């Protein structure tokens, strides 16, 4: 996945000062890198009987969609509040300043389904911890793994998932 690592662009001070933003758009725009990334994830999960790939708004949708297609799985959307039209479960979580929340339709997952959870970047881990909790608190589905394009090791995001015994896979680490 060296090609993926090379294709990720650093944007200093975005969206605010002090944040080094990992811009994945060049990796998506590169036809070779994008295909390699989806092929590698397909190879990793093809024998795991994945029923649903759940993507986190918004950049998580990109990978989740292509991956659901190649795995022959359904695609589940985890979205910011107020975006999903049907009845939802909601999980509120703490940000550096204030709170945020995400939602999932109440009928998105079925008992016993194997779910793969996907987002672009694992940073502090707050978002993924909330998404895992949203699924585990409301459904009797099995989270096979959570997959990221990028993990920022120094932010120790995976520590937020300790105690959930959910497995984490990152394609590249910085
Ligand atoms: P987290 O801090 O792990 O809750 O990250 C929240 C979300 O913000 C992730 O889904 C990422 O898409 C995004 N994010 C956070 N930090 C960065 C960063 N340094 N570069 C790119 N995306 C980021």
Domain count, the chain: 1
Query: What's the predicted TM-score (pTM) here?
Result: 0.96
- Is residue 25 a part of any domain in this protein? no
* pLDDT tens profile 94-119: 887 789 999 999 999 999 999 999 99
* Ligand 1, CB within 6 Å, residue ranges: 19-22, 56, 59, 119-127, 152, 157
* pLDDT tens profile 46-67: 999 999 999 999 999 999 999 9
**Is the pLDDT assigned to residue 44 strictly greater than 90?**
yes
Q: Domain with 57 in it: what CATH number?
A: 3.40.50.2020
- Is residue 121 a part of any domain in this protein? yes
C-alpha 142/C-alpha 122 separation (Å) is 20
Q: How far is the CA of 125 from the centre of ligand 1 (A)?
A: 8
Q: At 161, is the pLDDT very low, low, confident or very high (cuts 50, 70, 90)?
A: very high
Distance of alpha carbon 113 from the chain centroid: 18
Q: How far is the CA of 119 from the centre of ligand 1 (A)?
A: 9
- Is residue 29 a part of any domain in this protein? no
- Is residue 16 a part of any domain in this protein? no
In the prediction, which pLDDT does 98 show?
Answer: 84
Domain enclosing residue 98, as ranges: 47-173
Q: Which of 13, 15, 78, 127 has most ligand 1 atoms within 8 Å of CB, for mutation?
A: 127
Residue 137 CB partners (closer than 8 Å, separation 6+): 89, 91
């Amino acid at each position: 996945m060296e090609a993926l690592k090379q294709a990720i662009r650093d944007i200093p001070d975005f969206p605010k000062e002090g944040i080094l933003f990992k811009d994945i758009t060049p990796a998506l725009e590169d036809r070779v890198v994008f295909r390699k990334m989806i092929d590698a994830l397909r190879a990793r999960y093809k024998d795991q009987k994945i029923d649903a790939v759940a993507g986190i708004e918004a950049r998580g949708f990109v990978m989740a969609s292509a991956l659901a297609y190649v795995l022959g799985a359904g695609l589940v959307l985890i979205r910011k509040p107020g975006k999903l039209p049907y009845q939802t479960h909601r999980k509120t979580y703490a940000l550096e300043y204030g709170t945020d929340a995400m939602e999932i339709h109440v009928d998105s997952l079925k008992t016993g389904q194997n779910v793969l959870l996907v987002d672009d970047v694992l940073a502090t881990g707050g978002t993924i911890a909330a998404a895992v909790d949203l699924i585990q608190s409301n459904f009797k589905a099995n989270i096979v793994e959570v997959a990221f394009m990028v993990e920022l090791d120094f932010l120790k995001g995976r520590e937020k998932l300790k105690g959930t015994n959910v497995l984490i896979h990152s394609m590249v680490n910085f």
